[in-house]
Amino acid sequence: MSEFFSERLGATGINKHYLLGHDAAAALLIDGRLVAAVEEERLNREKKTTDFPVNAIDWCLKEAGITYDDVDLFAFPWNWSAQVLEETLDAIRASSAPQDTKTGLMADMSDLYDQVVSPEAILADFEARTGHRPDPAKVRFVPHHLAHATTGYYLAGMKDAAFLVSDGRAERFSTLTGEIRDGRITVFEDTVTGAHYSMGTLFSSITRFLGFVPNNDEYKVMGLAGYATPPTPNPFLDNLLRLHGDGRYSFTKPLQTDNLHSHDALFEEYFGPFEDTLEYTSRVAAAAQQMLNVATAHQVGHLEKRTDLNRLLFEGGVALNCLNNTPLFEGSRFEDMQVSFGASDTGITIGAAAHAWLNHPDTAPADIRAAASEPVTPYLGPAYDEAAIEEALQAFTGRVVVSRLDDDELIEQVAKLLTKKVVIGWFEGRIEHGPRALGHRSILANPGFTDIKDIINTRVKHREPFRPFAPLVLEEQAPKIFDMGRKTSSPYMTFVFPVRDEYRDRIPGAVHVDGTSRIQTLTDEATPRLTALLRRFTELTDTPCLINTSFNVAGEPIVCTPTDALNCFMSTEIDYLILGNHVIAKTDRVTD
């Protein structure tokens, strides 16, 4: 897939994630229970890989102790039917592009269908990479946005809910709304928005315009938005975005979905020639953020009039814009709003599998109730036992000093280390699923030091200095420290809240320039060791949070194996590494 996009559609370099085919992953459900899920990037070590997820599939099967022959259904989170191809070609024919451009693009889309995305091409690729050809009767192609919606529904406990799905683009669409009742999806067809009016793609175009990687670095634009207030008037709102009475929106200038630069001239008309300065980029980012907030609030405002349900699921890449999520929920009548840990394309394999299971004739209501009664954890990927850790450590003999402690000793020692200005790599259990580090492959630090953010950004993560860090907080203490409004928890870092005034000076390393934090709430049930560590750290310091950022450096996936963790530890200025029950320091850093 990556070869086709790079050779035929120019998706190379900074633009390599812009088109279809990023975030490859696999997931496995057994009797409706999610037993395994992992992104391919964690295993092949290529961030946001476009490659076929053969390693992820193999690991899921091995984890469950089964083979391809044991699988009852194979679900794919795309449905590029022949009808979708014809509708795509019709849209190109009707466009105002020059005829030679249309002819070339139609040829590319036809070849893309035949060689990459058609059901026949997908199954042929599956067989070539795995050696297994699924029985067509066992195959389900789930439309991309329905996979997103089902991901949210399944991970939220399969309770009836309204949904908003918004991302860059799927087969032909970018956003839609609807309901899920008893596992059955109803799409409000008049809210479906095509790819030419994609808020996700427009935000990616702005990301590219500001010098970042589209479909990858949108969170940098979110970070920049905190450094400015939206301009008044906001040219995105006044000149580009149009809101319609049916809950949809459009742009006065439609996107050219094959040209990421189609709006660059417009952006410079609005904001002046591009300047690589914080003042310029933050002003554009703040304006873009306000536009996204207004567009999604318009959709939700219409949705709440269309449904009598009180829960809202927000899924798709746009749902990872956590700056938007809190005001979106607070401005709605919905009693709860969930954004899952699988909201981006990493999670749609879960949704496709759940969709196939929910719609299988042998799935009974009692089966759904039984599966829904078991909470789903994000810790779904590979774990490594003591033997695997010790084997990995052998390769670093002489370069590290290792102490093995029991659980209580480990918590006590790490909590004491964190009272100092140190950075710690924390590695335990099964790797988390999704784009956020949720405490199993994390870098931890004390937010009480004003310069700890700069230390981590420059010495460890090797990333831009304006980037903020998220705090861990005990769920029962979170409303005291953060103004959470109607939310009581945020376990997946999908909401941003203002830090209460009396705590801003106590956790400066975890407070963004605009006075907010993207928090992860902890409970003893979900993360017992990490929660115990935070409790003990708080007892020692009276600081109620820990900084948590992903255990990786810029441009690399989150570490998966003990060897990955050791390599990252040795190549950065992380002070200590916790591998399971091992506390590890670098030999050249150890002093008497």
What average pLDDT score do residues 74-95 get? 91
Identify the pLDDT of residue 377: 96
DSSP code per residue over 93-124: HHS-S-HHHHHHHHHHHHHHIIIIISHHHHHH
Query: Are 394 and 304 within one domain?
Result: no
Task: Report the 10 Å Cβ neighbour count for 439.
Answer: 26
Q: Does the residue 295 lie in any domain? A: yes
* Residue-number span of the structural domain to which 529 is assigned: 386-589
Out of 347, 371, 395, a domain closes at 371
Task: Report the C-alpha gap between 41 and 54 in whole angstroms.
Answer: 11
Last residue of a domain, one of 371, 394, 424: 371
* 575, part of any domain: yes
CA distance 163 to 150: 9
Residues 140 and 164 in one domain: no
Angle at 560 between CA 557 and CA 562, to 5 degrees: 130
Alpha helices in 482-527 (DSSP H): 501-504
Alpha-carbon gap, residue 350 to 376, rounded angstroms:
11
Both 65 and 126 in one domain: the answer is yes
**Same domain, residue pair 123 and 151:** no
**Lowest-confidence range among 55-69, 164-178, 301-315?**
164-178
Helix or strand run (H / E) with residue 28 = strand 25-30
pTM above 0.85, yes or no: yes
Residue 291 lies in a domain: yes
Same domain, 498 and 531: yes
Residue 366 sits in the same domain as residue 224: no
The tens digit of pLDDT for each residue in 17-67 reads 445 556 899 999 999 999 999 999 999 999 988 889 999 999 999 999 999
Judging by beta carbons within 10 Å of its beta carbon (0-12, 13-18, 19+), is residue 208 exposed, middle or buried?
A: buried
Q: Do 132 and 165 sit in the same domain of this protein?
A: no
* Whether the predicted pLDDT of 450 surpasses 80: yes
Percent of the chain with pLDDT over 70: 96
Q: Is residue 491 part of a domain?
A: yes
Q: Is the peptide bond before 498 cis (omega within 30 degrees of 0)?
A: no
Judge whether 214 and 204 are in contact, CB under 8 Å: yes
Residue 307: inside a domain: yes
pLDDT per position as a tens digit, 227-269: 999 999 999 999 999 999 999 999 999 998 777 789 999 999 9
Apex 506 CA angle, 585 and 451, nearest 5:
50
User: What gap in Å lies between CA 417 and CA 394, rounded to an integer?
Assistant: 25
| Cβ neighbours of residue 317 closer than 8 Å, sequence gap 6 or more | 166, 167, 168, 200, 215, 218, 343, 344, 345
Query: 468-504 burial string, b = 16+ CB within 10 Å, else e?
Result: bbbbbbbbebbbebbebeebebbbbbbbbbbbeeebe
Determine contact, residues 206/182, Cβ cutoff 8 Å.
Answer: no
503 or 108, higher pLDDT: 503
Same domain, 316 and 168: yes
Give the total number of structural domains in the chain.
Answer: 3
Q: Specify whether 413 is located in the same domain as 529.
A: yes
Q: Which of 28, 32, 120 is nearest to 71 (CA)?
A: 28
523 in a structural domain? yes
For residue 250, give the amino acid letter. Answer: S
541 in a structural domain = yes
Q: What is the pLDDT of residues 343-373, one digit of tens each?
A: 999 999 999 999 999 999 999 999 999 999 9
Model confidence at 15, in pLDDT bands (50, 70, 90)?
low
Res 107 pLDDT > 70: yes
CB 168 within 8 A of CB 317: yes
One domain for residues 63 and 203: no
Cα(155)–Cα(532) distance, integer angstroms = 25
409 plus 353 within the same structural domain: no
State mean pLDDT over 541-567. Answer: 96
Q: What is the pLDDT of residue 102?
A: 87
Residues 135 and 206 both lie in one domain: no
SS3 (DSSP) at 236:
helix
Q: Would you say residue 381 lies in a domain?
A: no
Mean pLDDT, all residues of the chain: 94
Can you give the CATH number for the domain in which 70 is found?
Answer: 3.30.420
Of 347, 376, 405, which residue constitutes the final position of a domain? 376
Query: For residues 579 and 385, what is the distance between their CA atoms, to the nearest angstrom?
Result: 10
Going by C-alpha positions, the residue among 581, 168, 180 that lies closest to residue 384 is 581
Q: What is the per-residue pLDDT for 592?
A: 40
pLDDT of residue 21: 54
For residue 497, the domain's CATH number is 3.90.870.20
- pLDDT above 70: residue 2: no
* Least confident interval from 250-254, 456-460, 497-501: 456-460
Residue 343: closest CA among 151, 56, 79, 144: 151
pLDDT at residue 70 tops 60:
yes
The encoded tokens of residue 445 equal 């630090």
CA atoms within 13 A on the CB side of 414: 35
Q: What is the CATH number of the domain that holds 150?
A: 3.30.420.40
| Residue 7 scores a pLDDT above 90 | no
Segment 59-88 mean pLDDT: 95
Alpha-carbon distance 171 to 113, whole Å?
A: 11
How far apart CA 580 and CA 414 sit, in angstroms, is 12
